[in-house]
Amino acid sequence: MSPDLSGKLIEILKEALPSASRLAILWNSANPVKVIDFEEAVRAAKALGFRVSSVELTAATDLGLALATIRRVRPDALLILADDVTSTGVYPQIVDLATRQRLPSIRGSSDYAAAGGLIGYGPSGSELWRRAAHYVDKILKGAKPADLPVEQPTTFELVINLKTAKALGLTIPPSLLLRAEQVIE
């Protein structure tokens, strides 16, 4: 699912910012899953006319260097490929940079917009917890965890932060706002 999500994030970003042409992708090159996500994101970005700058973040302690790189390449937009290194612990610094640089950003997690980012799109957290409870129930009733199937998320949420859009001087297309599960005003 993760590589497919990378392509979808690029599509949403292009719909929100049709004139954008330079994209920075913040990602963890030490995470093998994120290597695949990054490759898919680059493929999707190039197909939509973006020039891509890779900004690697392999440890939270390297965030300052990554943010300096983003400032230096001056992208039109920022894609954050989510993993433990780019998790909520560094949201405030990333959101602060994006706001100060007037840089629209998107992350594959619906809670990113609630943290002040422009757009978050990803699996529904509440649905993931419900499915986890379903698994716990089966295990408590005697099912062997190894016998339970692996499930992919089926419910995704698009969250758009209009306060952030306003601060960035952006107008989000109505077609995208209509598809959003949540619009933060």
CATH code, domain with 108: 3.40.50.2300
Is 118 contained in some domain? yes
Is 72 contained in some domain? yes
Nearest to 30 by CA among 84, 73, 89, 66: 84
Burial bucket for residue 5 (CB in 10 Å: 0-12, 13-18, 19+): buried
Q: How many angstroms separate the CA atoms of 94 and 71, rounded?
A: 11
Is 50 contained in some domain? yes
What's the number of domains the chain is made of?
1
Structural contact between residues 16 and 104, judged by C-beta atoms closer than 8 angstroms: yes
Walk along the chain (185 residues) and give the pLDDT tens digit of each residue: 566 888 999 999 999 999 999 999 999 999 998 999 999 999 999 999 999 999 998 888 888 899 899 999 999 999 999 787 777 678 788 888 888 889 999 998 888 898 899 999 988 777 777 778 888 888 889 989 898 888 777 788 999 999 999 999 999 999 999 999 999 99
Task: Quote the domain boundaries for residue 31.
Answer: 2-124+155-184
The structure tokens 């970005």 sit at 45
CA 151, 153, 154: angle at the middle one, nearest 5? 110
Is 77 contained in some domain? yes
Q: Would you state the pLDDT for residue 2?
A: 63
Q: Give the pTM.
A: 0.88
Strand runs (DSSP E) across 13-96, as ranges? 22-27, 51-56, 77-80
Is 17 contained in some domain? yes
Is 107 contained in some domain? yes
Is 149 contained in some domain? no
Q: How is residue 32 written in tokens?
A: 């093998």
